[in-house]
Amino acid sequence: MLDNKKIKLMTKLAAFEDGKGKEDIKISKYYKTDYVRYQVIKTAVSITLGYLLVLLLFGMYHAEYIISKIVTLNFVRIGQYLLGFYIILMAIYITGAFIGYSIKYDHSKKNLSRYYKLLKRLNRVYQENDGDEKGEALK
């Protein structure tokens, strides 16, 4: 016989698993430090590649000027500016990634705790139904 409690709980659980919970379940496979560290490393690699790409495009755009002034340019000074800007950019993005992904992990754990409570409630409903069925079988 259909049990409305089970149907409601299973519907909520399925909606969570298919919707926003899909990513939360993936995140739950990591410890917080591992997840945040992995995301920060991905951010650092992405920023580095993006920065190098922007420098390459900037250099290509101003290639005529660079070639004509190649003897008089102070490449040490330019390198210091570029490195300083890179370090500042990395510090900002890594700090933002660390804070953002820590908050995301905590939020994910909170969502999963609600999910686990629903699972426990569904388990209790199944146990109650099993007890009822066993009692009826003994009569």
Q: What is the pLDDT of residues 46-80, one digit of tens each?
A: 999 999 999 999 999 999 988 898 888 888 999 99
Residue 138: pLDDT above 50? no
- What's the number of domains the chain is made of? 1
Residue 20: pLDDT above 90? no
Q: Is residue 113 part of a domain?
A: yes
The residue-averaged pLDDT of 128-133 equals 69
Q: Is residue 109 part of a domain?
A: yes
Q: Is residue 101 part of a domain?
A: yes
Residue 136: pLDDT above 70? no
Q: Is residue 135 part of a domain?
A: no
DSSP sequence for 41-104: HHHHHHHHHHHHHHHHHHHHHTHHHHHHTTTT--HHHHHHHHHHHHHHHHHHHHHHHHHHHHHH
Q: Is residue 41 part of a domain?
A: yes
The residue-averaged pLDDT of 83-111 equals 93
In this prediction the pTM is 0.72
Domain that holds residue 103: 4-15+32-127
